[in-house]
Amino acid sequence: MCYAIPGKVVGTRGRIAVLDYFGERREAVNELGAVSGEYAYAQGGFVVDKVPASQAVPVLEEWKGRFFQLKELDGKLSAIGERPEGEFGEVIGKALEGAALDRGEIIRLIEAEGMEMDALLKAANSLRARELKNSCCVHGIIEFSNYCRNACSYCGIRGPSGIRRYRMEPEEIVGTAERAVRELGFRALVLQSGEDYYYSGEILADIARRVRSLGALVFMSVGSRDKETYREMWDAGARGVLLRFETSDPGVYGKVHSGPKAQLEERLSLIRHCRKLGYIVATGSIAGLPGQGTGSLADDILLTRSLGAEMWSFGPFIPHPETPRGEHPKPELSTVLKLLATSRLVQPDAKILVTTALETLHPEGRRRGLLAGANSLMINLTPAQHRSKYSIYPGRPDNHKGVEESIAETLKLLYSLGRAPTDLGA
């Protein structure tokens, strides 16, 4: 089983390796010094592992036929429909031609209804296929602690809530990651927790180093920790951060977010710091927070663009009954789909995630998200005994699923849409 295919190094240029995948060329930062003729796995634009030809060639043989079959199916499913007439069609046309959309145009897209909405989603999917082909990132996520020093009013693992807490020791985290890489075939892992200071910067860096050395791209998702901690994790080999700004509206942020570092500006400064260090930045917001209108969602998109995020993560708010926002309604599926599609039109080459929250909002959330321009997914690898305790919101569909079952379902879905669960790099 494989969630990334190896590429053959066909050239190097300074720190860059050029990899070939069945005739498609991609570039990746060559941190492992791979040379022409070698085979390597690249994830998120970084070479993460070199593999001997004896291991790579059979994988490529197995994939070859399927690779082209899937491409053909995706080509059919992502054919662009008719462009609507009038000024709405012009906005879509402008995006397809690669022009930057302004705030008014972004709002116009997020507010699309009926046939206009259908045209928006189709345009986004065709743009995804044009820019990034049919590859879909499938990252594994390990939620290693639900302790949190914050009290964000929307979040089920907020400090004051009475849930049962758990914390995985570094050995257990690395052991889970090892199984994910060695037995299940994952090449990119997200390590997520509440803001839990039980793990010092040094401990987090050590975990990142050990997981990286398994041959995986490591994303850290540990909240507003010190800039120094993010530097330590970078030095240890973590190459991605997943850190949402949650909302671009400082008023809404101040109302829903809490903790000693409650200010939006500080969060943004941390995200910029990570970008400067060289991390792949995954960020975004929650859609449907109290007091958040369409203009605010448009600002979220513009902010994500200005932060230089490679991976965009927008998901719906799901009320958690044991939080102060337990009565606040969740958004419509269509609102989130329009947000994903508009994101694609604004940043054609972004990796756009279908979040677990979208799957929770609607049973078809994953499929519909992928058809609205998204091209990234996560599979939950948190050990079964902890999983239901990581209850940031209730009703997560994967709570009672085994990892093998989740993988099989994900692959079935991807193949039915002509997508290849690979990450061919930037």
Least Cβ distance, residue 318 to ligand 5AD (angstroms):
4
Least Cβ distance, residue 280 to ligand 5AD (angstroms):
17
144 or 317: whose CB is closer to ligand 5AD?
317
Q: Are the CB atoms for 294 and 331 separated by under 8 Å?
A: no
Least Cβ distance, residue 134 to ligand 5AD (angstroms):
28
DSSP, residue by residue, 245-289:
-B-S-HHHHHHH--STT--HHHHHHHHHHHHHHTPEEEE-BEET-
> Long-range contacts: 409-416, Cβ < 8 Å, 24+?
410/138, 410/377, 410/379, 413/366, 413/367, 413/370, 414/136, 414/138, 414/370, 414/377, 415/70
19 or 241: whose CB is closer to ligand 5AD?
241
Q: Half-sphere exposure of 350 toward its Cβ, with a 13 Å CA cutoff? A: 32
Report phi then psi at 221, rounded to 5.
-135, 80
Which amino acid is located at 343 in the chain?
S
171 or 322: whose CB is closer to ligand 5AD?
322
Least Cβ distance, residue 79 to ligand 5AD (angstroms):
33
DSSP H helix total and E strand total for the chain: 15, 15
320 or 344: whose CB is closer to ligand 5AD?
320
155 or 341: whose CB is closer to ligand 5AD?
155
H runs (alpha helix) in 262-355:
264-277, 294-306, 333-346
CB neighbours of 213 closer than 8 A, spacing ≥ 6? 237
Closest CA to 378 of 344, 407, 346: 407
CA distance 307 to 282: 10
222 or 233: whose CB is closer to ligand 5AD?
222
Least Cβ distance, residue 315 to ligand 5AD (angstroms):
5
Least Cβ distance, residue 72 to ligand 5AD (angstroms):
36
402 class by beta-carbon count within 10 Å (0-12 exposed, 13-18 middle, 19+ buried): exposed
42 or 189: whose CB is closer to ligand 5AD?
189
Least Cβ distance, residue 223 to ligand 5AD (angstroms):
8
Cβ neighbours of 293 (radius 10 Å): 12
DSSP state of 83: P
Binding stretches for ligand 5AD (CB under 6 A): 154-155, 244, 246, 286, 315, 317-318, 320, 357, 392-393
43 or 247: whose CB is closer to ligand 5AD?
247
Least Cβ distance, residue 353 to ligand 5AD (angstroms):
11
